[in-house]
Amino acid sequence: MFKELAKELRSWAARRIGLVREQLLMARAIILKLDQISEERALSDSETELHAKLKHKCLGLSSLDRTIARQRARVRY
């Protein structure tokens, strides 16, 4: 019964939260690309806004990733 519950919870978490690390990697890749572009030329207003939003999103995703890792460690302990 517990195995089935654990399986359902993992499935729910995957649908509800998504792949946090994958989202974090994509956001960081776009930020890196925008940083490289900013060295060559000035970013447009929309690019600057995107850069700021992605930085903010990275902070949230990093926090969520740490929280998930902490919770997994408690469950395993």
Q: Tell me whether residue 10 is in a domain.
A: no
What pTM was estimated for this model as a whole? 0.70
Residue 49 belongs to domain spanning: 20-76
Whether 14 is covered by a domain: the verdict is no
Q: Is 7 a residue whose pLDDT tops 70?
A: yes
SS3 sequence of 1-61? CHHHHHHHHHHHHHHHCCCHHHHHHHHHHHHHHHHHHHHHCCCCHHHHHHHHHHHHHHHHH
Number of domains in the chain: 1
Tokens of 61: 């995703």
- Asked if residue 22 has pLDDT above 90, the reply is no
52 vs 71: which has the higher pLDDT: 52
Q: Is residue 25 part of a domain?
A: yes
Asked whether residue 35 carries a pLDDT value surpassing 90, the answer given is: yes
pLDDT confidence of residue 77: 62
In angstroms, rounded to a whole number, what is the distance separating the alpha carbons of residues 77 and 65? 18
11 located within any domain: no
